[in-house]
Structure 1
Amino acid sequence: MAEKKKEEQEGGKKSGGKMGLIIAAVLLLAAGIGAGAYYLGSKGALPGTGSAEAARAAGANSDIIGPMIEIEPFIVNILDNDGTRYLKAAITLEVETNAGRQEVIDRMPQLRDAILLVASNKTFDELRDLQGKLQLRAELLGRVNEIMRRDRVRRIYFTEFVVQ
């Protein structure tokens, strides 16, 4: 009888030890997640990543609408095996600041050239569905922001898009 009580007490200690180990592992995991979140959250404050860049990154996801600049509609030939196809599109660029708006106006010939080159390398099949349009938008955004020096374009909106 005394042996049974001794076994039950040892069994209780073992399960208590396992529980303590589980709690310690959970706390260690939570601390690791917290440290990772702190590191990622403070990444904008590290040297070499100016606060303007952090503000831009935060602004890109905000609901605030920046200045808009319309680009005149353009028509380009697109690639197709069945014959000649065209894309007619009008684009509006959203920038972060009024200075960015002025930069877009100053660089308009460069931006139109880049947009025309990217769009004319697309095929009819790539542009006829939503995924293709979203891909074109992403490519244009990347190319336009390569050209910009002082500011950046936040979003690109297609205000007219016809493929035939």
Structure 2
Amino acid sequence: MAAEAEIESGPAAKKGKGKLIIIAAAVVVVLLAGAGLYLFLSAGKSADAAADAALAAHPSFIFNLPTMTVNLNNETDGEAFMKLTVALEVANEEMMTKIQPSMAKVVDAFQVYLRELRKSDLEGSAGIYRLKEELLRRVNVAIYPEKVESILFKEILVQ
């Protein structure tokens, strides 16, 4: 009889233990997923907060250049021109006063470079990115030893 009691309670007990293990595993999976989601969402917020703090700690000053209109290099399909309004981002107000006397050199460097461009050079975001990088390089050469942080396009019109 004792053997019969063990046989009857054995499979039922194993089924109960199996269900308990499955429930425990499901709870662990849900807890891990929740913890992962929390870490993922909190990491995004801390990165945004760090970027906001960096922007607040490093204010920039904008130096506006006059609007430039240039004829682009002749192409087979006729004449093309470009109208460009650019602003320079500088580190502080003192930098703005230091580069003011060199603005004639900057505009000249821009005009010479822009006149050699073709309309096809300015197509797509890659063309505009190359233009931005080249203008930044030219402005930093013209105002050396001072340095401009970045070039900001206010208006670009190519026809």
- Give the distance between the partners of 2:131 and 2:105, measured in 1 at CA: 18
| Amino acid across the alignment from 2:102 | R
Map 1:9-48 onto structure 2 (within 5 A): none
Deviation at 1:149, TM superposition (A): 2.8
Q: Is the radius of gyration larger for structure 1 or structure 2?
A: 2
Q: Could you list the runs of 5+ residues in structure 2 that have no partner in the other structure?
A: 1-53
- Which residue of 1 is the match for residue 65 of structure 2? 71
- Which residue of 2 is the match for residue 141 of structure 1? 136
Q: What TM-score, normalized by structure 1, do the two folds share?
A: 0.59
- Which residue of 1 is the match for residue 114 of structure 2? 119
More helix per residue: 1 or 2?
2
- Give the distance between the partners of 2:134 and 2:119, measured in 1 at CA: 16
SS of alignment partner, residue 67 of structure 2: strand
| Amino acid across the alignment from 1:74 | M
Work out the percentage of aligned pairs sharing the same amino acid. 25
| Amino acid across the alignment from 2:69 | I
Q: Could you list the runs of 5+ residues in structure 1 that have no partner in the other structure?
A: 1-61
Q: What TM-score, normalized by structure 2, do the two folds share?
A: 0.61
1:59-111 CA-partner distances (Å, limit 9, x unpaired): xxx53342111111110011222111000010000012222211232111111
CA contact 2:84–2:156 (8 Å) conserved in 1: yes
In the alignment, is residue 93 of structure 1 matched against residue 105 of structure 2? no
| Amino acid across the alignment from 1:89 | L
Q: CA RMSD in A?
A: 1.3
Runs of 4+ in 1 over 2 A off after TM superposition: 62-65
| Amino acid across the alignment from 1:77 | N
- Which residue of 2 is the match for residue 109 of structure 1? 104
CA contact 2:110–2:135 (8 Å) conserved in 1: yes
SS of alignment partner, residue 108 of structure 1: helix
